[in-house]
Amino acid sequence: MTSEMQKAKQPVVSMVSGPYGHPFHPILVTVPIGAWVASVVFDIGSRIVDDPQFLARGAMWLVAIGVLGALVAAVIGLLDLLAIPTGTTAFRTGLVHMSLNLAVTAAFVVGFFWRSSGGGPQGAVSWGQLVLSLVALAALGVSGYLGGQLAYHYGVRVADETTQATGFQH
């Protein structure tokens, strides 16, 4: 294993970003992903039910929870990015992953303020707000694919095979 590969497996600040072989970023991203997916489900529901205000308001707060969770995950993800040697394919993939996530978070921030203008939702979520959320979720899916490529293909912050082999000893 090259020294560059080994460097990408080690945490920059293990107390914050997680110890060797157990990064915190992948666990933290479940908060914004779950909140934003649920917000879209609530958005769609608000267009179907007779009393949409409850679901529209819930979606607005799920968007906010997702944004807050994304900011925490971004800080930890940045520390993981700093562990990857610059100039590598893995680093460039990490930059695209980060850029997409920042754009997605910005879209949901815009969506939150759009929803909360005028005192919050008064009825069903507008088609424009729903489309914005769907486009942001699609971009999040692409970004998630790239995050998976970083971990599963390039092994960023994943324990090396020698460490992994200890789990298969009798």
CA distance 130 to 165: 46
In contact, 28 and 73? CB cutoff 8 Å: yes
In contact, 81 and 61? CB cutoff 8 Å: no
Is position 124 within any domain?
yes
pLDDT at 1: 63
4 within a domain of the structure (yes/no): no
pLDDT confidence bin for 9, thresholds 50/70/90: confident
Q: Is residue 167 part of a domain?
A: no
86-124 pLDDT, tens per residue? Answer: 999 999 999 999 999 999 999 999 999 999 997 778 889
| Length of the chain (residues) | 170
Rounded to an integer, the average pLDDT of 132-159 is 96
pLDDT, mean of residues 123-150 = 96
Asked if the model's pLDDT at residue 77 lies above 90, the reply is yes
Query: What is the C-alpha end-to-end distance of the chain, expressed in Å?
Result: 25
Is 18 inside any structural domain?
no
Kind and range of the H or E run holding 114: helix 89-116
Is residue 3, in this structure, part of any structural domain at all? no
Mean pLDDT of 70-98: 97
Instruction: Provide the CB-side half-sphere exposure for 53 (13 A, CA).
Output: 5
Report the C-alpha gap between 63 and 162 in whole angstroms. 41
- Residue 14 is assigned to a structural domain of this protein: no
Out of 16-20, 35-39, 69-73, least confident range = 16-20
Domain count, the chain: 1
Inside any domain, residue 169: no
Question: H/E element holding 126?
Answer: none
pTM for this one?
Answer: 0.91
Domain that holds residue 121: 23-162
C-beta contacts of 141-146 below 8 A and 24+ residues apart: 142/100, 143/97, 143/100, 143/101, 143/104, 144/29, 144/33, 146/93, 146/96, 146/97, 146/100
For residues 49-73, average pLDDT? 96
Which is more confidently placed, 126 or 2? Answer: 126
Tokens 């490529």, residue located: 149
Q: What whole-number percentage of the chain has pLDDT above 70?
A: 99
Q: Is residue 12 part of a domain?
A: no
Mean predicted lDDT score pLDDT of the chain: 94
Write the CB contacts of 37 (distance below 8 Å, at least 6 apart in sequence): 137
Two tokens, residue 86: 């610059």
CA distance 168 to 58: 45
